Structure 1
Amino acid sequence: MDTPFSTTILETICKLQEKRYLQQCIAIRKSGALLHLVLGEYKAVRPELFRIYLRVTPATFDTIVANLRDNPVFHNNSEKEQLPVEIQVAVALHCFGHFGNAASIQKVGIWAGLGFGMVDLLTRRVMAAVCDPIFRKRVMKWPDAAIKEKAMIWVEACSCPAWCKGWCMVDGTLVPLASRPAHFRNTWYDRKSNYSLNVQLISTPDLRIIDYGVGLPGSQHDATAWKETRIPKERATLLGAGEWVWADSVYPLQSWCQAPYKRYALSSLFMLFMDKLIYNC
């Protein structure tokens, strides 16, 4: 009597599960010496090398870790403790600061001395903590009256008294993705022929970021992505009487969002700001 085909399939699946791997696994020798060197000696005495690897200064790194440390994603009831938050953040920053093959989980795993799956897990944890509203409110505070006054003085000195109420500015940028996302696929394809994220940044003239909007695909127009930030939603409480935001001509012009003389005046103002920043530095 012939064996039923279904039985043959089940027996084959069982054999595959028992072996787990169809080919012999060859261990890859890895060492975390370079990662510990970056977090140790480079962080303490060679900050320029530290920044090459993680793209932030040691002081900024410490601030990020301090604000993420108590997030629940880094704590669990498992018998095996997680890696220190410093290592998890360092691995994620290394991924974020590189592109293409340099950001692959294989290359990052070899650099950090970690398993390839662990690199993906640590990056997901850090992203979950960064996207937590608690973290955003903690690190992204709206300017107080003193900061606003300082920004208005700067704008007036760079332009004219009539423009001093425009103490903050907005612009969008596209952050390229290494590959096409699995969800909503081609909606991430932008006008520059890349798969990307649309990121909106609102800052004061001294380049202090006071709000951001992220999450929409690169194919979305800046005017649409701008609506996801705080100012369009809460402008009555965030902007005082007569205050407005500098923007270019792609944004909807309103009494609280203006581009005087379109992009030419805005570009000139940006150049004045940058000249002053370079001169003061």
Structure 2
Amino acid sequence: MPRTTEQQLVTESLFELFFLQLLAEGEQAMIEDPDYEDEYMDTPFSTTILKTICKLQEKKIPSTMHCHSQKWSSPTPTTFDTIVANLRDNPVFHNNLENEQLPVEIQVAVALHHFGHFGNAASIQKVGIWAGLGFGTVDLVTRRVMAAVCDPIFHKRVMKSPDAAIKEKAMMWVEACSCPAWRKGWCMVDGTLVPLASRSAHFGNTWYDRKSNYSLNVQLISTPDLRIIDYGVGLPGSQHDATAWKETRIPKERATLLGAGEWVWADSAYAL
């Protein structure tokens, strides 16, 4: 497991102190005389704690999320810009209200930062403090990005069917690494379990997988050079790989995507 640094431990402690102090100040404000002023308390202690956290994280927090979002989310700048370009015109990011939404770049960066953390680090409070946004805004932005990514239009844009050249390259690799008889097995599938932070409020037990975690079943279909040509998401972790696989494109459109005699590499969890 990754080692927790001293800086991370100090930051965690300061965050706990910040939230406790914020609650205490709120309760104190409810019982105090609103006309009373303390000249020695111009700045709330919670603000001082927050400034200390920011100072501690100065070398890690990016000055602008658009230019440096890759520090917090694994995509490279080129990949990040490509994701934004394919999401930008989704209706979820546009409305007719007077208050305009945040730029799509910012929304995607916040969502990726949210997805890239786990446990307490993924709480909307901590993400909100990192991004300088309201806690409700973090939740809303994450939901928008998820809705756009799960849109079938986005899937069709980013998942292109492999052409003849890509297939031939994959077949040549398979033949070189195995034998001529197996060259038509030019793509492969496998499933992975993505753990959830907690039990889902809807049909909670169905998300409980064989490894005693609550998770999502994700199916990935790729060529030997790791080019992803299809994916399946959304099914609970208790779903068997053979069943989840049937929700992807190849089983549904086999005649279109696979030529005569072509097949898919898979482990024993998948039916023939």
TM bin, normalised by shorter chain, reads 0.7 to 0.9
Identical aligned residues as a percent: 91
Structure 2 CA distance, aligned partners of 1:58 and 1:6?
35
When the two chains are superposed, the root-mean-square deviation of aligned CA atoms in Å is 9.8
Distance 1:121 1:161, change over 3 A: same
CA deviation after TM superposition for structure 1 residue 98, in Å = 1.1
CA deviation after TM superposition for structure 1 residue 119, in Å = 0.3
Cα deviation digits, residues 222-266 of structure 1 (max 9, x gap):
011011011111101110001000000110xxxxxxxxxxxxxxx
Q: Which runs of 5+ in 1 are unaligned?
A: 20-29, 37-56, 252-281
Match of 1:14 in 2: 54
Tell me the secondary structure at the aligned position of residue 192 of structure 1.
coil
Distance 1:14 1:236, change over 3 A: closer
Distance 1:16 1:215, change over 3 A: same
Distance 1:7 1:250, change over 3 A: closer
Tell me the secondary structure at the aligned position of residue 33 of structure 1.
coil
Structure 2 CA distance, aligned partners of 1:157 and 1:2?
73
Cα deviation digits, residues 119-157 of structure 1 (max 9, x gap):
000000001111111111001011000100000001101
Asked if structure 2 preserves the Cα contact closer than 8 Å seen for 1:31 and 1:112, the reply is no
Q: Which runs of 5+ in 2 are unaligned?
A: 1-40, 67-75
Asked if structure 2 preserves the Cα contact closer than 8 Å seen for 1:153 and 1:164, the reply is yes
Match of 1:68 in 2: 87
Structure 2 CA distance, aligned partners of 1:4 and 1:126?
35
Tell me the secondary structure at the aligned position of residue 141 of structure 1.
coil
TM-score (norm 2): 0.72
CA deviation after TM superposition for structure 1 residue 10, in Å = 40
Asked if structure 2 preserves the Cα contact closer than 8 Å seen for 1:199 and 1:213, the reply is yes
Deviating above 3 A after TM superposition, structure 1's stretches of 4 or more consecutive aligned residues are: 1-19, 30-36
Give the total of aligned pairs.
221
Match of 2:63 in 1: 33
Moved more, 160-169 or 229-238: 229-238
Structure 2 CA distance, aligned partners of 1:145 and 1:2?
70
Match of 1:131 in 2: 150
- Choose the corresponding residue for 1:192, options 211, 225, 250: 211
Distance 1:156 1:115, change over 3 A: same
Structure 2 CA distance, aligned partners of 1:153 and 1:90?
39
Distance 1:3 1:194, change over 3 A: closer
Structure 2 CA distance, aligned partners of 1:127 and 1:149?
35
Structure 1 CA distance, aligned partners of 2:193 and 2:161?
24
Distance 1:33 1:247, change over 3 A: same
TM-score (norm 1): 0.70
Match of 1:99 in 2: 118
Asked if structure 2 preserves the Cα contact closer than 8 Å seen for 1:32 and 1:114, the reply is no
CA deviation after TM superposition for structure 1 residue 35, in Å = 3.6
Structure 1 CA distance, aligned partners of 2:46 and 2:104?
49
Distance 1:118 1:14, change over 3 A: closer
Cα deviation digits, residues 152-203 of structure 1 (max 9, x gap):
0011011110110000000000000111111101110011111000000000
